[in-house]
Each structure stands twice: as C-alpha cells, then as structure tokens.
Amino acid sequence: MKLTRRNFLAAAGAGLTGSVLTGCPDEDPRPSPPEHPNILFILIDDMGNRVAGMGDPYSQTPNMDELIRTGVTFNNQFVQTASCGPARTALFTGMYPDTTHAWHNLVDFRDIVPDAITLPGQFGLNGYQTVPIWKVFHLGRHDDEALSWTRPSWRPEGSFPRYYNPGTSGRPPTEVGAVPSEIYHDAQVTQRAI
C-alpha cells in the first residue's frame, strides 16, 4: 500500500483507538499476511487438460489434482491463434496478434512492440520476484530478458525431447522408460520449481 497522509492518519487513528479502548499493546499478536502472496503459474499449452482433476479418465495425477483442488484453475481458455508463439505472446502481453503481428511462430513480438510490459514484467514492477523455469515464451526467446524477469531463467541440461525407451523416435509425446524419473526434463523442472 502506498503511504499517503490519509493512509497514515487512518492507520494511526485506528491504532490509537484500539490501544485506548482495549488497553492492548500496540503490536497485534497475529501474524500479518505476506505483502505479496506466492503465485505459481503453470503454463501447459500443447498438453491440454490431460490431468485427472480436469476430467481426463486415463491420467493418474494426484499432485496436480491436489493443486487444482486447493488453487485457482482457469477452465475456459481461448486463443486468437492456435499456435504456440502467438498464443503465448497474446497471453503474456495481453495484446491481440493484430497488434503484435505474432500470427505464427517465426514472429518476435519485441520487433513490433519492443517496450511491451509482459505479465511477469508487471509482477516484477509491483515487487514480485519473477523467475522463468524452462520454456515460458515460445522457444524460450525472452526467458532471460530483464523487461520480463527479475531473475535469470533455468533450463534442464541436455537436449529436448529425450526418449529412453528403445525404438521411441519422437512419438508418443510421453513415455515411461526403465530409468529414474529424475532423468526426464519434466521431473527436473518440477524439482527446480519446488
């Protein structure tokens, strides 16, 4: 909250009244809420809602289901262009493709609107720490820029995608190999976020 004369006087008057009427010390024994609540933004554009908590009868996703149950979930999504780059550009800038010229994946919105404030940039301007983990913008193009992030990005090591089942060559988009789960990028990203 911005400190203004009015806010100061209101707070001082409330504190004085409370102390006089109740005889309580000036400090409230209850913990104060954090100045900024923690926000975890999980972006899943190509996978859709392939989790049990969003209605997929085949998925077994107990941790995501718990997060859905206790957090805020957006179930009614629309995109102006059904392609990764333009969809992410529209989401993070709040601008239509006609404004950013991001009608396909080869367009960099910073070429058209170089000073656009992105969603993470707006959070950063308001005191939040913003940290990209793995791919946030299309191809990770702006995942290290100071206009959007207060900390540098983190990516798992190695190439993507990496498959471990013999004979897997790019399909299916998911697999469960006979390897520890930590070898997969998704598990590394999850651990880093935690």
Name the nearest CA neighbour of 102 among 79, 119, 85. 85
Q: Answer yes or no: are the C-beta atoms of 39 and 53 closer than 8 Å.
A: no
The helix (H) or strand (E) run that includes residue 190 is helix 185-193
Residue 24 annotated among the catalytic residues of the structure: no
Per-position DSSP letters for 2-38, written without gaps between them: ---HHHHHHHHHHHHHHHHHH---SS-SSPPPPSS--
Rg (CA), the chain: 23
Which of 24, 84, 101, 104 does the annotation list as catalytic? 84
Residue 185 annotated among the catalytic residues of the structure: no
Which of 24, 36, 104, 138 does the annotation list as catalytic? 138
Residue numbers annotated as active site: 84, 138
